[in-house]
Amino acid sequence: MSAAALVPVALVGALVGLAVPPLARRFATPPDRTGADPEPRPTVWAWLSPMVAAVVFVGLAVARGDDPALPVFLAVAAVGLVLAGVDLACLRLPDPLVRTAALLALGGLTAAALLAGTPDRLLGALAGAAVAGAAHVLLALLPGSRLGFGDVKLAAVLGLPLGWLGRDALLAGLLLPHLLHGGLVLGLLAARRVRRDTLLPLGPALLAGAWLAVLLV
């Protein structure tokens, strides 16, 4: 994809990033007793979100510019940014957002496979979702595991686009999130910012690992 074509992609990403903080607040914080949304508070994330979203979108466009499923990757990334914001705020991955990402991924990849005449890639996407979901179910069932079933469902959804790209992308997408999360936990423990029993969100690592896997394959 040419540099000129990346400019509108970056602008769309930045616009998505502007919408992420208020959407994340809406899902992370329930309305008050009068039914009104709580007063929003400006955060560092609110300022960084447009830049992060632009980088995410441009990275996907550079890596998958010739893939008919690029719009699907961008749509899933947009929902993923909101999910990351919610998980960072309240250690929760709301089902409505995960379902939205799943519908966008499954519907978009089905359309892309039919339009491109590559139904085998859709089968690969479905297999990727099954493998990613099953692997994380096993991890969640391990004694002492802190993996929540929201994380399991998100991993299965991310298995769709990763499976579309093939075995290498799926394997990277399964391993990278846990390497990122483990490194972060060790760093925070070394800095004494958390304790061993502190719960930390895994959703952002799942999303970041999947994004890196797309860029690396």
pLDDT for res 46: 74
pTM for this predicted structure: 0.92
What are 175-213's pLDDT values in tens digits? Answer: 999 999 999 999 999 998 888 888 899 999 999 999 999
In this predicted model, what pLDDT tens digit does every residue of 25-71 receive, in sequence order? 999 876 554 444 444 445 666 789 999 999 999 999 999 999 999 99
Contacts of residue 124, defined as CB under 8 A and 6 or more positions apart, other chains included, come to 163, 164, 166
What is the spatial distance between Cα 6 and Cα 28, in angstroms, rounded to a whole number?
Answer: 32
pLDDT at 175: 97
- Return the ∠ at Cα 114 (arms to 110 and 117), rounded to 5°: 135
